[in-house]
Structure 1
């Protein structure tokens, strides 16, 4: 048994060395993953117990935040139209068709709308986004609460807003 103690210490030290290469927020998870490589069941269990406790502590201290796919989609939907840097989980995964589609369109509902001077509109969506139309078109459907809205990302940072089945016109997010 005394011969196994140095091996356990070396295994746990190797685990923390592997985790040290990871970014600070990812270290508890990386340490947990590293436990899989330990062959001895008793050492692997000790490693898992230690790493799980560290992950639990990091989660309670909010050094690590765990979110599910639905929360990420909701956050992306709420940020649609803002020009933000590509940040971690909000950036999506390369090649994921669902993520690419989410970044190009947004279907929502009008929460409130008010006319602005020169025939433009300010529209608040149920997700909280506030949009203003940039152009005027007599064929644009005047928005009312409860009406469906479709926003589509255009070229060069432009967005097109369509209310119900009306004509799409240029819009920009202001809040």
Structure 2
């Protein structure tokens, strides 16, 4: 089984997207491995690979570099959908293609309306969304109903339960 991995250079303090953009496009540990590949003599190439592999593993143990499977990056993007997170460009910085996530599907765990008729939706994945518009709804969402959340204009989101007309929402958890 072949797993595609991406080398992510992550600052532990993770202060801002600007820090991530200033990170080198390629780790010096990877440059060392690439240099070894060009050595013609087999014994010298093997010695170089051994040394550079040890350097790479030590950097990974110190968390100077983190190797992340593309699938994990995609799972995390889905889990964070709805939050205003900086785009650190982990895959894009390394030539990977990252599709914009415009919608997610889920399953309703529970929904409740407050006294003013505003709904709070909890999905089975643990995300919680609250209605932000004042449009009264005539439907009663039930646990187990399918949910579709789409990006809407001006940075907002629309949530639709069981293909009913959507309401504007924001993610709270």
What's the TM-score once normalised by structure 1's chain length? Answer: 0.74
Contact 1:107 1:151 in 2 (8 A): yes
Question: Number of residue pairs matched?
Answer: 151
Higher RCO, 1 or 2 (CA under 8 Å, sep at least 6)?
2
Tell me if structure 2 keeps the 8 A contact 1:110–1:145. yes
Q: Give 1 or 2: higher helix fraction.
A: 1
In the alignment, is residue 172 of structure 1 matched against residue 167 of structure 2? no
Structure 1 residue aligned with 2:65:
64
Give the C-alpha shift of residue 34 in structure 1.
Answer: 2.6
TM-score by structure 2 length?
Answer: 0.74
Q: Structure 1 residue 85 and structure 2 residue 83: aligned? A: no
More strand by share: 2
Unmatched segments (≥5 aa) in structure 1:
1-21
Q: How does 1:1-175 map to 2 (within 5 A)?
A: 23=24, 26-89=27-90, 96=97, 99-100=99-100, 103-139=101-137, 141-175=139-173
Conservation of the 8 A alpha-carbon contact between 1:25 and 1:64: no
- Return closer, same or farther for 1:35/1:92 CA change in 2, 3 Å cut-off: closer
Taking only aligned residues, the RMSD between alpha carbons, in angstroms, comes to 2.7
Q: Distance in 1 between matches of 2:94 and 2:144?
A: 33
CA shift, 1:88, in A, is 3.2
1:90–1:114 CA distance, 2 compared to 1 (3 A): farther
Distance 2:76 2:52 in 1: 29
Q: Cα–Cα, structure 1 residues 34 and 140, in superposed 2: closer, same or farther, change >3 Å? A: farther
Greater radius of gyration (CA): 1
* Structure 2 portions without partners, runs of 5+: 1-22
State the alpha-carbon separation in 1 of the partners of residues 25 and 94 from structure 2.
Answer: 21
Q: By how many angstroms is 1:71 displaced?
A: 0.8
Q: Distance in 2 between matches of 1:160 and 1:127?
A: 18
Which portions of structure 1, spanning 4 or more consecutive aligned residues, are displaced by more than 3 angstroms?
22-25, 90-96, 136-141
Q: For 1:52-102, what per-residue CA distance to the aligned partner results, in whole angstroms no more than 9, with x for missing partners?
A: 111112222222221212211110011101111111327698894x722xx
Q: Which digits, 9 at most, give the CA deviation of each residue in 1:24-45, with x for residues without a partner?
A: 9822233222322222222221
Q: Secondary structure at the match of 2:121?
A: strand
